[in-house]
Amino acid sequence: MDLTQQAHGHALKGRDLVELTDYTTEEIQYLLDLAIELKRKQNTKEIFRPLEGKTLGMIFEKSSTRTRVSFEVGMFQLGGHALFLSKNDIQLGRGETIADTAGVLSRYLDGIMIRTFGHENVTELAKYADIPVINALSDLGHPCQVLADLQTIQEHKGALRGKKLAYVGDGNNMAHSLLLGGVKMGMDVSIASPEGYESDAEIVRQAQEIASETGSKIAIVRDAREAVENADAVYTDVWASMGFEEEQKVREQAFKDYQVNEELVSGAKADYLFLHCLPAHRGEEVSAGVIDGRNSVIFDEAENRLHAQKAVMATLMA
């Protein structure tokens, strides 16, 4: 990396990752390029341990496969240690204020990762902690996943600017971070959601403001075919995210015209990429033919959670 890129990395040291809007386009690009470099190092067995002797506290109020394994393995590969803290292990927001928890953990740890429900848990933790706080998912956003998504698209397409990303489904935390991260990197982003399941209006407003600076185009539509037309990447998520399982039957009816299947993706570019943050429900939000087809990059995407998050930790915590 050249001196300018190194300067972007240095500017990120000690900062939080609450949402990708916290960072400039150049800083996000630095993290993506570093993630690709760390992936190369891992594949060639090159030792890189900038976090020797450092510890990451991992707070989980929501269960996870990819988040826990990728952060824990990532810290190990970077030379550090990851400490798993379930909602039953600590008193976050119950017997102890978040501010006090942040103050205490700042005396023990070098970084905090949190996977939670309320986004205010992330923002308050970041406000009061003296160490970097990483949002590993909240009900409002999922920036770590989107860094891995952007890395995957960059690896397969060579660049992000000017590419079209289409998201079909619930206007949830994934849609929010994809919209914000996409326009930050100069991508055109289209989102198709049924009535009543649209993305947060304030997030859309923020994205439109960013798009006016980066030259991106945003389309918030009802018609999934319109969203996917000529797309370079097509993305979806489960119809009932964690915490909304009791709405499964209602959502199945609401989203019945929003399945990503062979007919829908026929409108995308022939070499489109299919992405999904996983876990996936074949036959619901996506057909087996699409998610298991030649355009699917879901396992590259899942692997890149490890590399993208290593880039974040190595930069913020070193």
Active site residue 139: no
Q: Which residues contact 12 (CB under 8 A, 6 or more apart)?
A: 23, 27, 30, 31, 315, 316
CA distance 151 to 138: 21
Identified catalytic residue from 29, 77, 145, 259:
145
**Catalytic pick among 66, 119, 142, 276:** 142
What is the CB neighbour count within 10 angstroms for residue 62?
A: 17
Examine the residue annotation and report whether 277 is marked as an active-site residue of this protein: yes
Q: Which of 110, 151, 277, 309 is catalytic?
A: 277
Mapped onto helix, strand or coil, the DSSP state of residue 59 is strand
| Maximum separation of any 2 CA atoms in the chain, in Å | 55
- Residue pair 138/173 in contact (Cβ under 8 Å)? The answer is yes
In 227-306, beta strands by DSSP E: 233-236, 273-276
Marked catalytic residue, from 170, 232, 237, 251: 237
Q: Give CA–CA dist 47/63, Å, rounded.
A: 31
Q: Using an 8 Å Cβ cutoff, are 273 and 156 in contact? A: yes
What does the DSSP 8-state code read for residue 296?
B
Catalytic entry in 8, 251, 305, 307: 305
Catalytic residue among 115, 176, 276, 307: 115
Catalytic status, residue 142: yes
282 strand-pairing partners: 286
Question: Which residues are catalytically annotated?
Answer: 115, 142, 145, 237, 277, 305
